[in-house]
Amino acid sequence: MYTKFQEAANYIKQRINGETPEFAIVLGSGLGALKDEVTPIEKINYNEIPNFPQTTVEGHTGELIYGTLEGKKVLLMAGRFHYYEGYTMQQVTFPFRVFHLLGIKNLIVSNASGGVHADFKVGDVMIIKDHINMFPEHPLRGKNLSEFGTRFPEMSKAYDHDFIAKFEEIAKKESLDIKKGVYVGLQGPTFETPAEYGMVRVLGGDAVGMSTVPEVIVARHQGMRVAALSVITDLGGPEISIPVSHEEVLNAANVAMPNVIKLVKGLIAES
């Protein structure tokens, strides 16, 4: 696998003239409008990159965009991979190994999620302060690749505390009503039942989704600093039985985009 990571990284390095982006940014379902904020230097379709997986989900376009955002060089991943698509966890997290080999130290992740906190409403943006991993496969299972990190990585600060504080400062300055909470990762692809939403709440979760957790684990394994935002695109719980569709998720994410853009641009500008 290490050779495959290197082949992908070498190809991308060639396409971006050997430069090192300061941030990698990963866009969740319906959050693709953020890519329009990047001044592009180079665009690379996933199918051009050696060994790279291919996205299969609507709302995930499938390209890397290298360019500038708030005066910083960034590599934006428009379209991610999910365990429910049939990929292994090693495939889901493949791009993040490549980011490390490119020398990227900072990661901003976004996602769409179902809110279970009583104070949340559709369209809210939640700063992820921690997560609960409930995926059936762990991305670090198997032989440890010591080139990336230790066998038993420490996860007490999976989400960088300085980044969280900066998000909160930006939200205050911009008068944004931003939430903060714990994200629970489940495999999907079904949206949760009312009882499952209730379980997430009992476990201490504030929102639930089908991504992010494996990616953050791998990023932290190799020492990357992580910031994450979750857009609340539906609500759930034992007392709520409102049907939800992927189209509704995309629509809700679109409503929240202005706030997501302000937070991401502000964090990059001030880092």
Q: 240 vs 106, which has greater pLDDT?
A: 106
Alpha-carbon gap, residue 25 to 49, rounded angstroms: 18
Q: Predicted confidence band at 76 (pLDDT cuts at 50, 70, 90)?
A: very high
Q: Does 241 have pLDDT greater than 70?
A: no
**Is the separation of the CB atoms in 52 and 94 below 8 Å?**
yes
Q: What average pLDDT score do residues 113-124 get?
A: 91
**DSSP result, 198-210:** HHHHHHT-SEEES
Name the more confident of 253 and 151.
Answer: 151
Q: Mean pLDDT over residues 97-101, rounded? A: 97
Residue 193 is encoded by which pair of tokens?
Answer: 């039942």
Residues 228, 140: Cα–Cα separation, whole Å:
20
Angle at 53 between CA 76 and CA 131, to 5 degrees: 65
The whole-number average pLDDT for the span 118-140 is 95
What percent of the chain is predicted at pLDDT more than 70?
93
Split at pLDDT 50, 70, 90, the class of 210 is very high
Residue pair 80/108 in contact by the 8 Å Cβ criterion: no
Give the pLDDT of residue 247: 74
CA separation, residue 138 to residues 64, 85, 128, 159, 246 (Å): 25, 16, 20, 18, 26
Closest CA to 263 of 92, 145, 130, 125: 125
**Average pLDDT for residues 55-67, to the nearest whole number?**
75
> Could you tell me which residues are beta bridge partners of residue 42?
66
**What pLDDT shows up at residue 122?**
87
Partners of residue 68 on adjacent β-strands: 39, 73
Which residue reads 């279970």 in tokens? 116
- State how far the Cα of 171 lies from the Cα of 260, in Å rounded to an integer: 10
Residue 18 DSSP SS3:
coil
Give the separation between CA 187 and CA 7, rounded to whole angstroms: 29
Residue 76 backbone phi and psi in degrees, to 5: -105, 130
Q: Where are the beta strands (DSSP E) in 55-201?
A: 63-69, 72-78, 106-115, 125-133, 179-185
**Reported pTM:** 0.92
* Portion of the chain with pLDDT greater than 90, in percent: 74
**CA torsion angle 195 229 55 147 (round to 10):** -110
